[in-house]
Amino acid sequence: MSEAIRSGALALDHGHTMHYEVSGRPDGLPVVYLHGGPGAALEPHMRTLHDPQVYRLVMFDQRGCGRSTPAGELAFNDTTHLVQDIERLRRHLGIERWVVSGGSWGSTLALVYAQAHPERCLALVLRGLFLGTQAEMDWLAEGTPNFFPEAWFEATGAAPGEAPLERLKDLQDRVLGSDDDGAVLLAALALARFEWTASALQADRAVIDAELTPDYTRAYQRVCCYYLRHGCFIDPAALLAGVERIRHLPCHIVNGRFDAVCPPAAAWRLKQVWPEAELDIVPLAGHSSTEPAIADALGAVMTRLAYSLATARGAGT
């Protein structure tokens, strides 16, 4: 894209530093996009889904992730700190209110942030919804491998259904507990390749291998395993109950019908407690934001949202 991408480093607390990027119109409609994982990094592809003549898009790498430092650091790294970081970034950029968007784990974080700071939100856009329940976390070992048995076998050496939770725990233990850096990297790559393969209807192994560099993957999976081991530091029941604090906000939910990582049941469940929200279960689409049908649906949401928010502002609401 031709618009300038402005990046910076924001000092946080306890030695953490956040890498962030801003693109689009400096005076555009502000939107913050929260990446998934936990532990991944900001997604450059998201710039293509936000009209740079309309939006001021803010993205950042969460604690321990991407180009934030220290890479893979787990101390003082939890959901409460991430919510504080989002607020620190908002104040740093001088933004009063913004659209809060997130994918996968980012959708969870978006809900937590919005419920903590509803007065700072204009709307929510949630893709590949994840509510942080134990069943959803177990699904990666108990459900997803049934659709990608060869990828699961490559990661674990076992067929689907052969002590799946134990196999997943073993990989997580190796990522978090081994003093052997080679063993850590092998386990991290195994987990990441399986998840990324399962995220698309037609995964491109060459693209996956190119993106999963050793330094990125090691930090990514270290943070991911740590969060999953701690239930992502949230109470899923409280997350659903907290919808009452944000019910007045526009909410758009996009989920692939064949999302094998975050199946549409969670999105449907949120819709039941938030009937005012707009739910689009996209046919012939998986989990990733780069899935063509998901990207089209998200782009359409952002176009409609810009119009509806401009109309509401013009009407003084």
Closest CA to 106 of 40, 51, 204: 40
Instruction: Please check whether residue 261 is in contact with residue 198, taking contact to mean a CB–CB distance below 8 angstroms.
Output: yes
Whether 78 sits among the annotated catalytic residues: the reply is: no
* Sheet containing strand 5-11, strands side by side: 5-11, 17-24, 55-60, 29-34, 98-103, 121-127, 251-256, 278-282
Q: Which of 104, 199, 288, 289 is catalytic?
A: 104
Whether 2 sits among the annotated catalytic residues: the reply is: no
Whether 235 sits among the annotated catalytic residues: the reply is: no
Closest CA to 228 of 116, 104, 43: 104
Buried/exposed 274-307: b ≥16 CB within 10 Å, e otherwise: beebebbbbeebbbbbbbebbbebbeebbeebbe
Q: Which of 101, 287, 288, 289 is catalytic?
A: 287
Residue with tokens 């990666």: 140
Q: Which of 259, 280, 288, 289 is catalytic?
A: 259
Q: 166: how many CB neighbours lie within 10 A of its CB?
A: 11
Residue type, 170: D
Q: 137: how many CB neighbours lie within 10 A of its CB?
A: 18
Query: Where in the sequence numbering do the catalytic residues fall?
Result: 104, 259, 287
